[in-house]
Amino acid sequence: MNKRTVAPGQHGTSRRKLSEYGMQLREKQKAKRIYGLLEAQFHGYYEKAQTMKGVTGDNLLRLLEMRLDNAMFRLGYGRSRTESRQIVRHNLVTVNGRRVNIPSYQLKVGDVIEVREKSRNIQRFKDVLDVTDSRIIPEWLSAEHEHLRGTVMSVPTRDQITVPVSEQMIIEFYSK
C-alpha cells in the first residue's frame, strides 16, 4: 500500500508553511492547553511576569508551575492537571493547614501542601499513587507519599521545568 503525499481534502495540495505569527500562536495555545487555562487567565500571567524582575519567559513559566493544581500534579496526587484541579476544587487540599479550593492559588517557598485528613482514605488517592508512583518529582518539590504531603523547597528554575514549550515565542506573540 502506498502512502499519500498530499494532505487529505479538497485543498490538501495547497498546504503552506506556517508563518512566524502562526508558530507563536501555536506555542501559546500549546502552553494554555498544557496548564488548562483560558485566554484571560493566561494573559494575566503574562502581564504579571512582565512586571517581575528577570526574564519574562522564565517568570511566566515559574508562575504557571507554582500554581496549586500544577504542584498537586507534579507531586503525583493527580493523574493529570485536570484531575489535580478537580481535587483542589473539591476541598480535598490544605496549604499550611488552611483549606484551599482555588486551583490558581500561588504557592510560595516553604508552603506545605497536604491532602486533608478526612480525604486520605479515599480510594482515588490509593489508585492515583499506584499509577503516579514512578513519576519523577521535580527538585523544587519534596513529597511524603505516606502522609500525602508535599513541600515547596524552592522556586523552580527554567531547567527544572520540563514543559515542552518555547516561552520566547509566547513572549514575542504578546509583545506585538
Q: Does CATH number 3.40.50.12160 belong to domain 18-64+159-174?
A: no
**What's the pLDDT score for residue 152?**
96
In angstroms, the CA 145 to CA 137 distance is: 11
In angstroms, the CA 55 to CA 141 distance is: 22
Give me the mean pLDDT over the 1-11 stretch: 71
* Spatial contact of 60 and 170, defined as CB atoms under 8 Å apart: yes
**What's the pLDDT score for residue 3?**
72
**What's the pLDDT score for residue 13?**
64
Q: What is the pLDDT of residues 116-168, one digit of tens each?
A: 988 888 888 888 888 877 788 999 999 988 888 999 999 999 999 989 999 99
* Residue among 131, 145, 140 nearest 159 (CA): 140
Verdict on whether the full-model pTM lies above 0.85: yes
Domain ranges in the chain are: 18-64+159-174, 67-154
Residue 167 cell numbers, joined: 516561552
Q: Does CATH number 3.10.290.10 belong to domain 67-154?
A: yes
